[in-house]
Copies of this chain bind each other. A is one copy, B any other.
Amino acid sequence: MQTATITRIEPRTAILSTIPQLRKFEVTCSSCNLREMCLPMDLDAEAMRRVEQVVYARRRVRRGDSLFNAGDEFSAVYAIRSGFLKMTVINDDGREQVTGFNMPGELLGLDGIGTGRYHGNAVALEDAELCVLPFSLLEELGREVPTMQRHLHGVLSREIVRDHGVMMLLGSMRAEERLATFLLNLSKRFTRRGYSPSDFHLRMTREEIGSYLGLKLETVSRLFSRFQEDGLIEVQQKHVRIVDIAGLEAVMGD
């Protein structure tokens, strides 16, 4: 496990003009193709400029490496620019639970605000690049720009809502419903990012899917096979093709 590369970017616009064009281009949220779903969503030009001041570094994490681990000191949240990550928690007996899979445009590290230390582990499922948002700067921005404040609260609240959805999944659904829900959720998120709703590459293993869904990897594998037999999907290793969306949705309806 090696230290991830950190690319420092100038923190304040005052200095921004001294940076080569290319670099400047990289920093701007306004030109980032994730702006529609990332933190600066729906901001006016002025607010956007302020956010860009907060994004003061870029960080790369290689597949298998951690962005942060449980217990690490919290100082920033991260916006995913590229790559897939998983969030996990590990309990006393060493059992690991995957609490989420995250894709570009999503925010990581919110679990660290409350205690000053990250509560979970963020591990890259493939090489990833992230925007580092020092949380104190984000809070400062929130105090000055109500839109940003509201937006940050929204992100936190929606994470809670998402978690409640996972509780519903884990607490009330049968195995096949869980997997169907999972696939449909991935499909929706891929669609939002401009990728195919029906054809995608799973970055996580069967075991990681199983952990997230509260199932064993063998069960996940069997379900993939069954869904394929039933003509709902086509699977080949990590590549999934959803053949019958309505059918998948109907799995929950029985």
Residues of A within 8 A of B (CB): 87, 89, 91-93, 95-99, 110-115, 119-120, 139, 142-144, 146, 149-150, 152-161, 163-168, 170-172, 211-214, 252-253
The docked-state distance in angstroms from the alpha carbon of A46 to that of B163 is 35
Known: A91-B172, A113-B154. 18 other contacts (CB 8 A): A89-B164, A89-B165, A89-B167, A97-B167, A98-B171, A110-B160, A111-B160, A112-B157, A113-B156, A120-B164, A139-B149, A142-B142, A143-B144, A152-B153, A163-B163, A171-B213, A172-B211, A172-B214
Q: Are A155 and B120 in contact (CB under 8 A)?
A: no
The docked-state distance in angstroms from the alpha carbon of A24 to that of B139 is 33
By a CB distance below 8 angstroms, the chain B residues around A96 are 172
The docked-state distance in angstroms from the alpha carbon of A253 to that of B92 is 9
Most chain B CB within a 10 A radius of its CB, from A110, A155, A167, A170: A167
Q: Are B170 and A111 in contact (CB under 8 A)?
A: no
The docked-state distance in angstroms from the alpha carbon of A231 to that of B93 is 23
Q: Are A172 and B95 in contact (CB under 8 A)?
A: yes
The docked-state distance in angstroms from the alpha carbon of A159 to that of B163 is 10
The docked-state distance in angstroms from the alpha carbon of A119 to that of B167 is 13
Q: Are B143 and A149 in contact (CB under 8 A)?
A: yes
Q: Are B167 and A163 in contact (CB under 8 A)?
A: yes
Which residue from chain B places its CB closest to the CB of A211 in the assembled complex? B171
Most chain B CB within a 10 A radius of its CB, from A146, A158, A211, A214: A214
The secondary-structure label for the interface of chain A is helix
**Contact of A149 (CB < 8 Å), options: B142, B150, B156, B161:** B142
By a CB distance below 8 angstroms, the chain B residues around A142 are 142-143, 149
Which residue from chain B places its CB closest to the CB of A215 in the assembled complex? B171
By a CB distance below 8 angstroms, the chain B residues around A156 are 110, 113-114, 153, 156-157, 160
By a CB distance below 8 angstroms, the chain B residues around A92 are 252
Q: Give, as a whole number of angstroms, the nearest-CB distance from A115 to chain B.
A: 7
Which residue from chain B places its CB closest to the CB of A210 in the assembled complex? B171
Which residue from chain B places its CB closest to the CB of A152 in the assembled complex? B153
